Structure 1
């Protein structure tokens, strides 16, 4: 790149103190390889359960460059539980929809679900270097449980019957770490995956995109912008996202005959950016911050557990950027894995619980790949037939609303584990409400607080449970049957009453929406996993039903 670039001058690179190399092998309960969002989220999730981990990262600090930028509501909910939400909300730019254009005509204006009942925005634009920094800040507050070692590279992995031995190299020495469990969150070029001889399977698309970050002052609102065959770049597709600190991310498709090395030279990038900004009506001066090239992949491992080694994030799957499912699916991996691994490490659940991590997240990856592939095939048609279909859809969409759904970018949403082996059988009939395997819907509640109540939300109850399972008991008078409360004496279960009354010791359905949202009546009970997915529900609960559902998961 040209020396006129100033890569992220507003964000100093962080060089946290490293750990000295140790003579001889060390033993740790959990070793996490990879200090990106997925590795940090896994470490924070384990720490939430009091489980210590060592996290190693080959680089010397948080990332630079243009990587993930769009964080979904579901990911923000997870980050809230990890204690890092404040930084995300203060720095990120929330958005709820976007516009697509064909040549010079708007053909789609979409909005994601958003109403006054939601605690968090549907999507937040935040560059990955900030994502990592805020998660790192939270991890450093848990330094007694999270040991971060920078400039530490994996050079070998040996699986044992009772764990894995990992050889690592630092600038000063090489040493071994013996881990009971090894979490591979080391990205698309995973050294752990390579060491085990595992291969991602799926589709690699031929279409290439140039990613350009520029600095530009603009009052334009934050929304996703997509331009198909725009006058500024005929025959191409262009995506535009506004970020914090007056940074804009521009992705544009290269023609098949364009040379990739030449395509990232500033003298070739600048005219396309100038033309795009002129088309958008942006007249302020701009300067480049980062240029790179991207190729879409839709790949996954067949399973994410290989004995004591567990794969997450890009080490497990590579998802096309369209629909923003990459980093978000990785954060969901970390959330699913952390509580299960913590329960196993603490002896509260058998090792087989980790097989459900693989089952659920492989299913989720295939769903994300299915949607991501459809979006990719529309954004960058792989064949003449796809291109012909896209041209027809775009040409009709301006006047025919029924075809506009084909342009929809299929933004990421929470995956329901409808067939999870952990789910309790839904024996009762519910007209609505979250079924086993789905995540909790959001709604305001008045929560018990210091003998009184304060404003809160349904998802706050999962955060307050601090890693335990959450029981939502719908009560007529705010009381919980003694036999249900007694389950918490021997099981990791935190039960709270939800009542239509304002009783101080319960959560108050002050909007009169929660009972109907869950299709609940007095006596209804929802059992929720530590990651916010519903495990089971009963119209008129008996304590034995809840105990049995938990016994299928826990070692007791």
Structure 2
């Protein structure tokens, strides 16, 4: 079958190699932070640091954003993070939102799942957007912060020397090589991380033998965006097939190779096209289609034991490799960047002890292991690693047609926000007094609000009120804030600690409030009464809460956060 390939409906801008001013092949500036790798994780880390006023040099080995099918699903939690970075509008404008999916066993539908979506939410559970668009939107935001973010294109790190007081990098470019010094390095250089390899660090876990072919096609179809999974389909017996719709008429098809298939032969167009044609016929898709790109991958469930190596901090695929099932890869990496950026910024600015960075590793390694647990279950169901697993899957799929209670075993467990319940930063002494609301370590529960800005108001959400500061959410009848909290605010600001008070009023008409609980849901959702206080980290995780507090409680919790 001969089908000509079409280009992606996206034109990547190409950037020339850039060199800093050099003296004897040395960048004379010592940089507070260098980010290695310009993918979604690297850009989010750079944008997060810039939001705290920290200058960043970002080194990207290529001359443009990525090419080919990589990450395509962005979760609600990632959208919340990207919104704080000032880049969400493009994601929401271009991305295709979806709320669930369907799974089929042979000819029968065995699961129709829905992700949580209600009137409290600001963002959809998931949007589909190709990684080249993801990177371009984040790059656009970074270019708007050129006062703090310097992107160096075609700058490939070839050597790294990690010391107790900083890191030296050797960088190759088409215009010449140079060395540079950094106080801190964020290693976001992907699954084949040179920094990880050079420093002799090893990923640990499971690498699965099964392989999947990825095919991006352009297809004219009005079918809605949802996750489609086909187990042992008539078009490809013995295989598992996943289908996702993307913007601009691009569709991604992933199908599992059967045992004994040669991967090199499997990705040849003459072997791929008949399978795609057969799949589309089975789905009832009769529109014209053309291939765009073909690739191959295998599932990995691997992580470093520690994401901090002296002054090098690992994030994204450089730190962990997660199975694609449940779309945790890029989303977990964006969460890494969000966790790391504020902590590293506080350390660089002298606000916090470098020990705070140990909590980055502790929290995100635990998150990776939780994600690996879910991803491993999904992987073993999607591609059974043994005959016993395959028998179990056939039994579950066959019985799920008649017994709905078994369908939860098929659910792919899509990516969701991770709670840092075991974090050393939490102050949990008052948690037991609450019957609802986000406990210490959890992200804020979303709720619509009327946001008050002086004499003007607008419709918004609670997460709109949390920025780069440590935030005190104070629940009040009329917007009034007690003197002890304003005194604490002044003392923190005098110490250079970014601290903000957000007053959440139960009643309307008070200009001194920041948010009005117009829906009447917020106070109940947080089990709050006038006088309740939640302390929130810059990444949106709660780290302390009280029904009643005094200034010493607040000061002690923040000092614990910064010195942990």
Query: Which of the five TM-score ranges fits, normalised by the shorter chain?
Result: over 0.9
C-alpha RMSD of the superposition: 1.3
The C-alpha deviation readout for 1:9-36, integer Å capped at 9, x for no partner, is x211222354225332331110100000
The answer to whether structure 1 residue 256 and structure 2 residue 263 are counterparts is no
Counterpart for residue 103 of structure 1: 106
Structure 2 distance, partners of 1:481, 1:398, is: 59
Cα deviation, residue 177, structure 1 = 0.9
Counterpart for residue 6 of structure 1: 6
Counterpart for residue 518 of structure 1: 526
The answer to whether structure 1 residue 531 and structure 2 residue 539 are counterparts is yes
The C-alpha deviation readout for 1:445-498, integer Å capped at 9, x for no partner, is 1111242321110101113xxx11111111122101011022222322111111
Aligned with 1:438 (options 426, 430, 442): 442
- Partner SS, residue 275 of structure 1: helix
The answer to whether structure 1 residue 133 and structure 2 residue 136 are counterparts is yes
Query: Which runs of 4 or more aligned residues in structure 1 lie more than 4 Å from their structure 2 counterparts after TM superposition?
Result: none
Counterpart for residue 483 of structure 1: 484
Moved more, 450-459 or 45-54: 450-459
Structure 2 distance, partners of 1:48, 1:281, is: 48
The C-alpha deviation readout for 1:244-277, integer Å capped at 9, x for no partner, is 0000000000011111011111111111111110
The answer to whether structure 1 residue 448 and structure 2 residue 449 are counterparts is no
Superposed, 1:43-192 pairs within 5 Å as 43-192=46-195
Aligned with 1:549 (options 535, 557, 561): 557
Counterpart for residue 208 of structure 1: 211
Cα deviation, residue 6, structure 1 = 2.9
Structure 2 distance, partners of 1:97, 1:3, is: 32
Cα deviation, residue 53, structure 1 = 0.6
- Partner SS, residue 7 of structure 2: coil
Superposed, 1:503-514 pairs within 5 Å as 503-506=510-513, 507-514=515-522
The answer to whether structure 1 residue 302 and structure 2 residue 301 are counterparts is no
The C-alpha deviation readout for 1:410-430, integer Å capped at 9, x for no partner, is 100100000100001232511
- Partner SS, residue 553 of structure 1: helix
Moved more, 88-97 or 537-546: 537-546
Is contact 1:348–1:555 with CA below 8 Å preserved after alignment? no
Is contact 1:487–1:493 with CA below 8 Å preserved after alignment? no
Cα deviation, residue 131, structure 1 = 0.3
Structure 2 distance, partners of 1:387, 1:83, is: 46
Structure 1 distance, partners of 2:441, 2:523, is: 19
- Where does the alignment leave 5 or more consecutive residues of structure 1 unmatched? none
Across the two proteins, how many residue pairs are aligned to each other? 552
- Partner SS, residue 554 of structure 1: helix
The alignment's TM-score, normalised by the length of structure 2, stands at 0.96
- Where does the alignment leave 5 or more consecutive residues of structure 2 unmatched? 493-497
Moved more, 436-445 or 493-502: 493-502
The answer to whether structure 1 residue 356 and structure 2 residue 359 are counterparts is yes
Cα deviation, residue 553, structure 1 = 2.3
Counterpart for residue 475 of structure 2: 474
Aligned with 2:395 (options 392, 407, 416): 392
- Partner SS, residue 19 of structure 2: coil
Aligned with 1:496 (options 495, 499, 502): 502
- Partner SS, residue 71 of structure 1: strand
The alignment's TM-score, normalised by the length of structure 1, stands at 0.98
Is contact 1:347–1:555 with CA below 8 Å preserved after alignment? no
Structure 2 distance, partners of 1:488, 1:3, is: 65
Structure 1 distance, partners of 2:307, 2:86, is: 26
